[in-house]
Copies of this chain bind each other. A is one copy, B any other.
Amino acid sequence: MSPRHLSQQDFDQRENELITLGRKLLEDDCLTTLTIDKLVAESRFSKGTIYKHFTSKEDLLMAICNQSITEMQAKFKRALAFKGNSREKILAVMVSYVIWAKLHPSQLFAVLAAHSPSVAACACDRRNEKHSQQEADLMSLMNEQIEKAIETGDLTLPKGMLIEQVTFAMWSASWGAMALIMSKGNSIKLSPMQLERESFTNATLVLDGLGWKPLSKDWDYPQTIKNITQEIFLPEMKILEKLATPFIFIS
């Protein structure tokens, strides 16, 4: 059963198995009910073995977050395959972000929770470094698009602004809308706010604010959204419909 030496590969594979199981438990129930004891009970391993992989509950959460981000990144890359101008490609990424959130709300909550300082504080260095690296990768993906847009002349970087700041502005605007809307779907006062629409609004305002061409007044971006959903994310659209949480975009 227990080999004299456990290869790094086997160890990693087991860890991924555990993280995947953790994500399954998360989907089935919710973040609050996800406990180490439950993971132990559902897994083939004992508590001691689990703690060989995760130094704490927070470490597990961070690991889950990292695996989720990896999946999200795949969606981002698919989005960038959209045939369109530089701004439409950015929009495609935004759309993929919203779709991912709607498809996997509990994973989104895990990612949101993983960004609280207490989680990072209790996760091991290895995990935190991977997390930083993944976010840097996501940002690089956007940075590249921005560079291309600057090359083509669609975007002129405002004086004194860094490419990273542009990425951060778009990311944080999306993040804020996501965090506020998804976390309280039932608040009466916020109910008129619709994730799809507000994400689009935020993106449009930031992009127009940057003077990223073509400006919203010169292009039918609502039509772009439709094209993105039809050309790139049709499978996801169908799943969302089946889940009774369709992607609805009314500008």
Whether A109 sits at the interface, judged by CB under 8 Å, is: yes
Mark contacts of A72-83 with chain B using CB atoms, 8 A cut-off: 1 yes-contact digit, 0 otherwise.
Answer: 000000000000
Question: Other than the known A160-B251, A168-B201, A169-B202, what 12 A-B pairs have Cβ atoms closer than 8 Å?
Answer: A32-B118, A117-B184, A120-B183, A168-B180, A168-B190, A172-B173, A173-B176, A175-B180, A176-B176, A176-B179, A202-B206, A209-B209
Among residues 164 to 183 in chain A, which have CB atoms less than 8 Å away from a CB atom of chain B?
164-165, 168-169, 171-177, 179-180, 183
A198 CB → nearest B CB, Å: 6
Expressed in whole angstroms, the Cα–Cα distance for A139 and B3 within the complex equals 61
Contact call B184/A176, Cβ cutoff below 8 A: no
Whether A63 sits at the interface, judged by CB under 8 Å, is: no
**Which residues of B have CB within 8 Å of A172?**
173, 176-177, 179-180, 198, 202
**Which residues of B have CB within 8 Å of A48?**
none
Contact call B205/A169, Cβ cutoff below 8 A: yes
Contact call A179/B189, Cβ cutoff below 8 A: no
A230 CB → nearest B CB, Å: 22
Whether A223 sits at the interface, judged by CB under 8 Å, is: no
Whether A113 sits at the interface, judged by CB under 8 Å, is: yes
Whether A30 sits at the interface, judged by CB under 8 Å, is: yes
**Which residues of B have CB within 8 Å of A115?**
179-180, 183-184
Whether A192 sits at the interface, judged by CB under 8 Å, is: yes
List of 8 A-B pairs having minimum Cβ-Cβ separation, nearest first: A176-B176, A205-B209, A172-B176, A209-B209, A208-B209, A175-B176, A136-B189, A172-B177
